[in-house]
Structure 1
Amino acid sequence: MTPQRPGIAADTSKGFDLMAHDAPSLEALVDDLLARLGDAECVALLHQANPAMPDHGLGAFHTGAEALHGVAWLGTATVFPQPVGMAAAWDADLLREIGDAVGTELRAKRAADPERVSLNCWAPVVNPLRHPLWGRGEEGSSEDPHVTAWCGEAYAAGLRGDDATVWKTVPTLKHLLAYNNETDRCTSSSSLPPRVLHEYDLPPFLGPLASGAAGGIMAAYNLVNGRPAHTSAELYEAVRAAQPDLLAVSDAYAPTNLTGAERAYATDAESHAAAIRAGLDSFTDRDADSSHTVAAITAALEQGLLDVADVRRAARRVLLARARTGEFTPDADPYAHITADDIDTPAHRDLARRAATAQVTVLENRGLLPLRAGSTLAVVGPLATVVKHDWYSGTPPYMVSAADAAGEAHPVTAHDGADRLRLRSRTTGLTLTRAADGALVADQPGDDVVAVTDRGHDMLTLADDATGLLWRGSDDGMVHVDATRPEGWVTHQVFARHVHDDGSWSLQHRGSRRWVRVEAWGGLASSTAEDLAAAERFDVEVVSSGAEEVARAAAGADAVLMVVGNDPHINGRETTDRPSLDLPDAQRRLVEAALAANPATALIVISSYPYTLGDLADRAGAVVWSSHAGQELGHALLDVLDGRAEPAGRLPQTWWADAKHAGDLFDYDIIDARMTWWYSPHTPRYPLGHGLTYGRVEYRDISLPNGLAGPAVVRVANEGDRPAHELVQVYAASTDDRIGRRLLGHQRVVLAPGEEATVPVELHPARLRTWTAARGLDLPATTWRIVAASSAGMAGPSLELTTAPATPDAPLPLPLVAWHAPDWSGVVGVAVDHVRGTAYRARSGAGRLGWPSVEPLPARLAMRLRVTTGLGGDVEIRCGGASVLGTPEQERRGEWHDVVVDCPAPGATSLEVRLTGTVELAEIRQEN
């Protein structure tokens, strides 16, 4: 017998025929299998890459297939609109259909390559779009958490399939939790009061899980209230309340951060033990190499940091996720008929076009749209002739740009708005050119032209004008001219420009931060200069100005489609937040040129996120938004612009008039900061839900014949001369600005010209609930204005309604948990310990907590305090018009300890606490 290390039991089963098992359920099958596995084998199941265990009938397996808006990274697949675009369709049936198609294509990929392709699907992303500067905003659905939950549930339901037992795929919701910043994402802490947690950040996870549409969650990189999300037992418990057997996986390399960047644990054994005990099941770390994970978990068992029962519980959830896909019961798999040919089918192409069309959103229209049939068009701008990919895009079988589609129905002049230049090396006196092997050189006479596109914020892409191929830097310094688009984890196709006093340029490869130089012998250009002083200088000859070419095309056209927006790999993406909400200056200049030449200019914004458009939106003949909508983007745009399809898209998030109105990217306490459309005092440029039809819809009346039990009855009429595809929306706005506004329900309706209709709108009164320590989630005592409107701007007929909690508020007894304070301002959450519990510290040296109704206070109070950073501070208790200070003991720095004070007003029934400095408060209780 092979000796086993302490804590690891020997394998006890050999030759188990898994496929011949006759279990009454998948759960029973998994339990029987788990009983036959040794402890070491269970440990091996907790890494992303599960080894084959032939003695138990188990093949190799790995978690994770990216399927955010189509199957990604596995070759050709149908590419649908980005999730923020899918959400703009406001159509759950459509999202379910898209999810079903993606699930089918993932199954098809697995049929072709079962060892490489997993049916554990890492999608959808259900983090609400709290802030428009988040670099990964394109991956989410909506600023509103309930719309996000609705979209996530629909897409995940399609991915999951309809069979009661076997899942087409196992969708995994990302990222638990409060993850909306890329800057310092592995070390920043999202501070969430319990109301924000339960009312805003948790609902998008709980909806898809409670309905059974999703079977897993991925933990987020960040900390929540000072605790790594990967080791937060409270977060895992919150989602497992909706689905106890869900699989919890780590984000890539996040386990390493626990002992690395986050410095939360001293050893890997401690961090892995803490994560498993908290509720993590699968470690996505170091790619397919499981040795580090296995060693850390084994060490944790040997050191007594972890129980075998914890490991087996996690292994069971891994096995159950595998079993749900039919892996262990292939004869009962209803999806076994899917073959490798079920990719890029005619039905999926049609769905891609329908999906892209449904999300096109008309923001402004001053009579320019729909376009006149056969009119001549100038289709211009950096996104006019291309279709962009994002990091999680698949490889589309074809792509149709705006210019391509416009040319099918109109005479078109197209231009990308790039400046055409010749760059001449001062070292060799020769022009930069593309060598036969693709290298960038300045080694022979020539007149090669470079197309330079300014992406904003000192980001350029440069392309050989003859071939369209982009310059691509590299880690080794070589610069090749061979890229078809910006791409990659590091976007090597981006350069920066330094303009010297004499007008010459030096160029920096942004990926390596090194400067381009040209060798005197051979003329090879490489990004190998360490600083600007060593960089090559290039003399610049302007062949043509992009702005002038845009103006020329615009002047000769009946109408202009000015197509601007972002490249999803530049200035906002995973690892990089957006530097600004403004349209890049270079694009603004192009728009100005088009408008000056032809006022009949439609500003077409193709982007992953909102922009502040300012006066450009005021001056354009129309403003239209689309996400990067995949392979059928161009057809979708022209279907709407030409009027073949009525505009149906509505914004799933706010477009602010001013970037300052969005608030602080790092402030997750949206109640205290008055952020998002729920709480903001600012009037947005375009509210959530905004989007125009070619009809003209008037909202005439709303009634609630059954109160909040619904439905609301909304009377609308189409006063226009075209059919109107209207999204009838019902909102609730509380008179208490700390309760704010909510979307109660919405309903699609198609109105013929001149038609009036009474539209029933299903209501979701649970969305009005607020969280308290005494009652959990319940309706608050407040008065609401219930409004029927076309957007969250809430311009429409309204009525008043009052709600009250199911049970009256009662005075709170001691102990008073600081984090549960009904009133708070200027505080941030900190972890009581590594696994559970939250305390408060002042955000910037001064914070306030309030309890307006408590049971009569005793004569002596004990405050649980700690100081872990800075110089400490005081806690002031105020009640009954008097106050008392409590100061933590400096010699107990880093420890929680009680500081006892005399209550300033024994018998008082309200309490206010002021925090100063860096002191942390966990609770206030009666002295024992």
Structure 2
Amino acid sequence: MKKNHVIFAIVTAASAMIAAPVASQVYEYPFQNPELSFHERAKNLVSLLTLDEKINQVGHQTLDITRLGVKGYNYWNEALHGVARSGKATSFPSSKAMSSTWDLPLIFDCASATSDEARIYYNTKQKGLIYWCPTINMSRDPRWGRDEENYGEDPYLTGRIAVEYIRGMQGDHPKYYKTVATAKHFAANNYEKGRHSTSSDVDARNLREYYLPAFETAVKEGNVRSVMSAYNALNGIPCGANHELLIDILRGEWGFDGFVTSDCGAVEDVYNKHHYVATLAEASGVSMRNGEDLNCGTTFQDYCKEAIEKGYMTEADLDSALTRVFEARFSVGEFDDAALLPWSSISESELECQEHIDLAHRAARESIVLLKNDNSFLPLAKDKSIAVIGPLGNTVSLGGYSGSPVEVTSPLEGIAEKIGYTISDGTIQCEDFTGSSVPSSSKRLSIEANGSSGNVGYIYAGDWISFDDVNFGDGCSKVDIYSGAENDLATTVELYLDRIDGKPAATVTLATTGDWAKYATTTADVDPALFKGTHKLYLVFGGGDKYCANMDWVKFYNEGDDNPLETQGPLYFYKGCAVTGKAETNIERAVEIARKADVVVFAAGTNLEVSDESNDRTSLSLPGDQQQLLEAVYEANPNVVLLLQTCSSVTVNWAQEHVPAIVEAWYGGQAQGKAIADVLFGDYNPGGKLTSTWYASESDLLADMLQYDIRKAKYTYMYHDKEPLYPFGFGLSYTTFGYSDMALSTNRLDAGDSVVVTANITNTGKVAGTEIVQLYTHAQSEIERPLKELKGFARVELEPGETKPVRFVLHHDQLAYFNDLTNTFDVEDGTVDVLIGASSADIRLKDKITTEGATVKTTYKSTTSGIENAMRNPSLKGDRVYTPQGTCLGTADNLGALPAGIYVINGEKVAVNNK
């Protein structure tokens, strides 16, 4: 996708001509002068503000400053894999899915398309240009509720993907940023259940080698302009008030010069969840003083004045923070002539345009991972009869923080299109509504709003939707409405025919599900004398003052009617069960339908009801009755393809032993149905590979999700010493690949040098395919080092019989480990294995080099390192309390009187959270 570069070349030339006379213009205030630096302009603007005006500007939603021409601003914007919460927009695959492509140019293109659409919403609706993405926390534990949002368990791969995503979002203009990307959540954030109050206790080596590198890469190579601090504490100190993290490391060591925002409500958490300080004013002061510049929420706005008055912070602290925040707004050109910005002319027609839809389709195809394919069961022949069974068969699983696309395709729809079958079972999908008082931003075709495709979300009392030309045939006596309702009050839907006034033709009281992400079917009687022939249908909603409903579909029928998708063929469909719960389980009927078909595509997986923000998974098994249904269907018809659409890994050990083929399609974006069909029928050869270990058993994971020591827990491919279900980097293809002719440019690697590693890759099969070649190292050391560490990768596209070379450059400093005694990254004087493989467990080629010992980087000496030193010191034992520096504070009986922080008692690290 090169269009942005072309636009840039044209507009830059024009801008040069337009900008030429600007220097002679007289400005009322220096901040209005585009010739000054963003910092100079921001500093000047801040100097013109009153204290009250300044304080209002450090919350995520701000007011106008009319006297200076500064508009109110909303900093809270989301675009994790497509512009979200704005209306029509392209929805790309989830972050976990995108990482499975291992395709850096593709990720850049998707981010660039997303930022194009972000600019359109800025140009047309004045939506903000600060976007709180990407999520670059590590996939330490697959049970993490937000595991779909990250790029996998490897810090090197995550860093490389983050750089491309950030560059695509921020653009390549020499002066202005297209948008501001935000790397989140800093740092060691992998737990939802207690995320507002818990502490991630991490030793210095885990922190430096695992939890921080992706952020460092995002700052140093991606030039990310914003960072979001995490809810959790790090070693007892809330991340948003953590001087070590936000000032010593982020700014001092890495040189970050953007702004830091809190997560939403996190400043308040410093007081009322972490109990780190005694008041909200003190929470505001300690957060801003220690590096937080912007508060998502109102705590800064409500309490900064008091914090200044009581000495918890100074107005100078506020000025510095606000200068950094305003600098970001200047950097996107908000205060400058639109003619200076190459993105001002992007047409609104580019929202979810065909080019972006095609890009989403390509990304979905590349993300799909083939996990099993016994005896070349796949691809399927198009003349086979197929039964799509399972709760996700006719669902478009978009994932959290999704865009709101209009054109979406479910697996069933993709298969139907591929085999030339027209689906018609009488169901009216709510994506097809024709007119509504519901705002366009409410048309949320997103799993985030319901867990299914084509829904209308966030409907309030008094809203309505309509459908043209609904044919009720000779008369219908029943209606099914599939919806979710959060409030406890009854939600009603009044059904009107042709006109929206007068007496409704029917009134239905919807089932209350208690959560906007949980859905249920409500069945009601209607009068067949009225619901007959062709009419315009209106649905008018009533209820309480919360969300009254999210709508997915409505269906009119007569009891006893046959569903053609269950009886006619050659394409059949039956859910058989819901993703969770037992209300929709009918295994007997699913088995009947499975027997009718040549092949069963069993569509299983997860949704936001199982795993999402604030909700960790309690199990890695297929939720609900899906496993029971799968086994019954397999017994009736063993020709089963298990199609997974999941947030992350699931323990499908039974399926691995029994069903002939398994495909992981993730939350694949709006084109997932088309992409799945392309893979199932062989029009696309899958080449995606896993970016997280799929553990063989839940017993491989500790019950305590707060164990952040991946060495001790033996988490990730780097330390897991058991055989996994599927290893990191794994993925099959419809062809095979040979590896040969490995060569190193040198067998001795001295400080400051690099070695070139080459090999040849051959397509030894009969169809074209893509292989993702992976470079690993292992240091032979007396110090505990990872079993393997990813150091490079390459996507190689090959025709049958074709051979291509791969080339990696391995730098001396890539072989360093963190020495927590000296706070340095050191390379040992020794031997390092150099490995090339198809996955972390499938090493095809191997060599070794000797390395010169050297210190390659000195870091800020963190308090965690002090803690480790204190814990090792044999003199600091017994029931006395010591600081990390070894100062005795008395006996353990005094804990209740100590300020919040980290201490050492009897050689153990203890977090104290006293108010």
TM-score by length of 1: 0.75
Q: What code does the residue aligned with 2:361 have?
A: R
The Cα of 1:670 is off from its aligned counterpart by: 1.1
Structure 2 vs 1, CA of residues 380 and 213 (structure 1 numbering), >3 Å: closer, same or farther? farther
1:687 aligns with 2:727: yes
- What's 2:74 paired with? 62
- What's 1:309 paired with? 316
- What's 1:677 paired with? 717
1:915 aligns with 2:891: no
Distance 1:765 1:261 in 2: 44
Match of 2:403 among 372, 390, 394: 394
267-276 or 385-394, which moves further after superposition?
385-394
- What's 2:183 paired with? 173
Could you report, residue by residue, the CA deviation over 1:858-879 in whole angstroms, capped at 9, with x for unpaired residues? xxx78899649xxx9xx9x9xx
- What's 2:438 paired with? none
- What's 1:768 paired with? 815
Structure 2 vs 1, CA of residues 630 and 18 (structure 1 numbering), >3 Å: closer, same or farther? farther
- What's 1:93 paired with? 105
- What's 2:470 paired with? none
Match of 1:668 among 708, 719, 737: 708
Distance 1:23 1:613 in 2: 60
State whether residues 133 and 581 of structure 1, in contact with CA within 8 Å, keep that contact through their aligned partners in structure 2: yes
The Cα of 1:146 is off from its aligned counterpart by: 1.4
Match of 2:296 among 256, 278, 284: 284
Classify the secondary structure of the residue corresponding to 1:196: helix
- What's 1:198 paired with? 208
Structure 2 vs 1, CA of residues 865 and 93 (structure 1 numbering), >3 Å: closer, same or farther? farther
658-667 or 222-231, which moves further after superposition?
658-667
Superposed, 1:486-885 pairs within 5 Å as 490-493=516-519, 546-567=586-607, 569-584=608-623, 586-663=625-702, 664-706=704-746, 709-736=754-781, 738-740=784-786, 741-763=788-810, 766-772=813-819, 773-774=821-822, 776-807=824-855, 819-820=864-865, 849=872, 867=881
- What's 1:343 paired with? 351
Distance 2:514 2:352 in 1: 24
Structure 2 vs 1, CA of residues 27 and 893 (structure 1 numbering), >3 Å: closer, same or farther? closer
Match of 1:334 among 331, 342, 345: 342
Q: What code does the residue aligned with 1:753 have?
A: P
1:253 aligns with 2:265: yes
State whether residues 130 and 180 of structure 2, in contact with CA within 8 Å, keep that contact through their aligned partners in structure 1: yes
1:224 aligns with 2:234: yes
Distance 2:848 2:424 in 1: 54
Distance 1:817 1:252 in 2: 27
- What's 1:234 paired with? 244
State whether residues 879 and 906 of structure 2, in contact with CA within 8 Å, keep that contact through their aligned partners in structure 1: no
Could you report, residue by residue, the CA deviation over 1:813-868 in whole angstroms, capped at 9, with x for unpaired residues? xxx99843xxxxxxxxxxxxxxxx75789xxxxxx6379xxxxxxxxx78899649
State whether residues 132 and 662 of structure 1, in contact with CA within 8 Å, keep that contact through their aligned partners in structure 2: no
Q: What code does the residue aligned with 2:225 have?
A: G
State whether residues 866 and 896 of structure 1, in contact with CA within 8 Å, keep that contact through their aligned partners in structure 2: no
1:370 aligns with 2:379: yes
695-704 or 648-657, which moves further after superposition?
695-704
221-230 or 260-269, which moves further after superposition?
260-269
Classify the secondary structure of the residue corresponding to 1:197: helix
1:356 aligns with 2:364: yes
- What's 2:21 paired with? none
715-724 or 192-201, which moves further after superposition?
715-724
State whether residues 111 and 339 of structure 1, in contact with CA within 8 Å, keep that contact through their aligned partners in structure 2: no
Distance 1:374 1:143 in 2: 41
The Cα of 1:338 is off from its aligned counterpart by: 2.2
User: What is the percent sequence identity of the aligned residues?
Assistant: 29
- What's 1:379 paired with? 388
Superposed, 1:348-497 pairs within 5 Å as 348-366=356-374, 367-410=376-419, 469-478=481-490, 490-493=516-519
- What's 1:208 paired with? 218
Q: What code does the residue aligned with 1:132 have?
A: P
The Cα of 1:465 is off from its aligned counterpart by: 12
State whether residues 116 and 346 of structure 2, in contact with CA within 8 Å, keep that contact through their aligned partners in structure 1: yes
The Cα of 1:724 is off from its aligned counterpart by: 2.5
- What's 1:447 paired with? none
Q: What code does the residue aligned with 1:722 have?
A: V
State whether residues 130 and 180 of structure 1, in contact with CA within 8 Å, keep that contact through their aligned partners in structure 2: yes
Classify the secondary structure of the residue corresponding to 2:240: helix
The Cα of 1:373 is off from its aligned counterpart by: 3.3
Structure 2 vs 1, CA of residues 403 and 320 (structure 1 numbering), >3 Å: closer, same or farther? same
Distance 2:94 2:856 in 1: 45
Could you report, residue by residue, the CA deviation over 1:433-462 in whole angstroms, capped at 9, with x for unpaired residues? xxxxxxxxxxxxxxxxxxxx99xxxxxxxx
Distance 2:845 2:492 in 1: 61
Structure 2 vs 1, CA of residues 602 and 411 (structure 1 numbering), >3 Å: closer, same or farther? farther
The Cα of 1:491 is off from its aligned counterpart by: 3.1
The Cα of 1:785 is off from its aligned counterpart by: 2.3
State whether residues 227 and 260 of structure 2, in contact with CA within 8 Å, keep that contact through their aligned partners in structure 1: yes
Structure 2 vs 1, CA of residues 474 and 754 (structure 1 numbering), >3 Å: closer, same or farther? closer
State whether residues 391 and 487 of structure 1, in contact with CA within 8 Å, keep that contact through their aligned partners in structure 2: no
Structure 2 vs 1, CA of residues 917 and 656 (structure 1 numbering), >3 Å: closer, same or farther? closer
State whether residues 827 and 856 of structure 2, in contact with CA within 8 Å, keep that contact through their aligned partners in structure 1: no
The Cα of 1:803 is off from its aligned counterpart by: 3.2
Q: How many residues align?
A: 749
Distance 1:121 1:377 in 2: 43
Structure 2 vs 1, CA of residues 891 and 723 (structure 1 numbering), >3 Å: closer, same or farther? closer
The Cα of 1:316 is off from its aligned counterpart by: 0.6
Higher helix share: 2
The Cα of 1:674 is off from its aligned counterpart by: 2.2
Classify the secondary structure of the residue corresponding to 1:409: helix
Q: Structure 1: which 5+ residue stretches go unaligned?
A: 1-14, 287-291, 417-452, 455-463, 496-511, 513-541, 811-815, 821-836, 842-847, 852-860, 878-885, 898-912, 922-928
Structure 2 vs 1, CA of residues 679 and 122 (structure 1 numbering), >3 Å: closer, same or farther? same
Distance 1:724 1:785 in 2: 29
State whether residues 485 and 512 of structure 2, in contact with CA within 8 Å, keep that contact through their aligned partners in structure 1: no
554-563 or 721-730, which moves further after superposition?
554-563
Structure 2 vs 1, CA of residues 95 and 485 (structure 1 numbering), >3 Å: closer, same or farther? farther
State whether residues 16 and 55 of structure 1, in contact with CA within 8 Å, keep that contact through their aligned partners in structure 2: no
State whether residues 135 and 578 of structure 1, in contact with CA within 8 Å, keep that contact through their aligned partners in structure 2: yes
Q: What code does the residue aligned with 1:251 have?
A: D
Structure 2 vs 1, CA of residues 896 and 268 (structure 1 numbering), >3 Å: closer, same or farther? closer
State whether residues 60 and 74 of structure 2, in contact with CA within 8 Å, keep that contact through their aligned partners in structure 1: yes
- What's 1:436 paired with? none
- Structure of higher RCO (CA pairs closer than 8 Å, 6+ residues apart): 2
Distance 2:201 2:477 in 1: 49
- What's 1:160 paired with? 170
The Cα of 1:471 is off from its aligned counterpart by: 4.8
Distance 1:128 1:918 in 2: 24
State whether residues 268 and 296 of structure 1, in contact with CA within 8 Å, keep that contact through their aligned partners in structure 2: yes
The Cα of 1:796 is off from its aligned counterpart by: 1.8
Q: Structure 2: which 5+ residue stretches go unaligned?
A: 1-26, 426-450, 453-475, 494-507, 522-545, 547-581
State whether residues 374 and 411 of structure 1, in contact with CA within 8 Å, keep that contact through their aligned partners in structure 2: no
